[in-house]
Amino acid sequence: MDQYLHEHEAASVEHLTPDQQKELTRSLSDGLVESLDCDQVTHEKIEQNLDSAVASLAVREAYVYRDWQSAIGDLMLREARAGQRQFEAVGFRLFEFICRQGQEEEKVWLRRLNAVIDDLDPSGDQEKDARITQLREVYAAVAKIISAIDQSKVMKSCISDAIRAVAREVVSGR
């Protein structure tokens, strides 16, 4: 599907013409039939279910893949100049400078990541945009991490009462 969209310079299945949508749906159907070794889907069946197929194919999904996570880490880490550490984290000021004015090879993956998240609307329809659920799951995971750090008592917690209260609220599902 991604290749088809790229070839037709479309960002989504919804941006294709009706004929292109049928062609893509037929192609995907043929691929599934071949992979699953099952009966061919008729043109009539595809025509009858085209709107539903297009709606399903238009669901926006995007994951922060491990390679992007690694890329963020690569951008945030520099070799340490001295001491026992091999690497140290760059400050947010330098990170932001790299994001805005850094070398082209530093910014290439940032453009890819931005293409995935720039138009994310957390209040949108979760059935049409799977990224909303992913974002909420990350939010809940961060709340759990904050709560675990706060409760660990390994060191004196520097988590504010306000953050602690929000994290408890998120973890409890309220």
**pLDDT tens, 1-29?**
888 988 998 888 999 999 999 999 999 99
Considering the domain architecture, whether residues 69 and 47 belong to the same structural domain is answered as no
50 pLDDT more than 90: yes
Considering the domain architecture, whether residues 53 and 83 belong to the same structural domain is answered as no
Domain count, the chain: 3
Whole-number percent of the chain with pLDDT over 90: 28
Considering the domain architecture, whether residues 32 and 8 belong to the same structural domain is answered as yes
Considering the domain architecture, whether residues 66 and 111 belong to the same structural domain is answered as yes
Instruction: Tell me how far apart the alpha carbons of residues 57 and 155 are, in angstroms, rounded to a whole number.
Output: 48
95 pLDDT more than 80: yes
What confidence score (pLDDT) does residue 127 get?
85
Considering the domain architecture, whether residues 49 and 73 belong to the same structural domain is answered as no
pTM of whole model > 0.95?
Answer: no
Mean pLDDT, the chain, rounded, equals 84
Considering the domain architecture, whether residues 136 and 159 belong to the same structural domain is answered as yes
Instruction: Tell me how far apart the alpha carbons of residues 53 and 41 are, in angstroms, rounded to a whole number.
Output: 13
Note down the domain range covering 72: 61-119
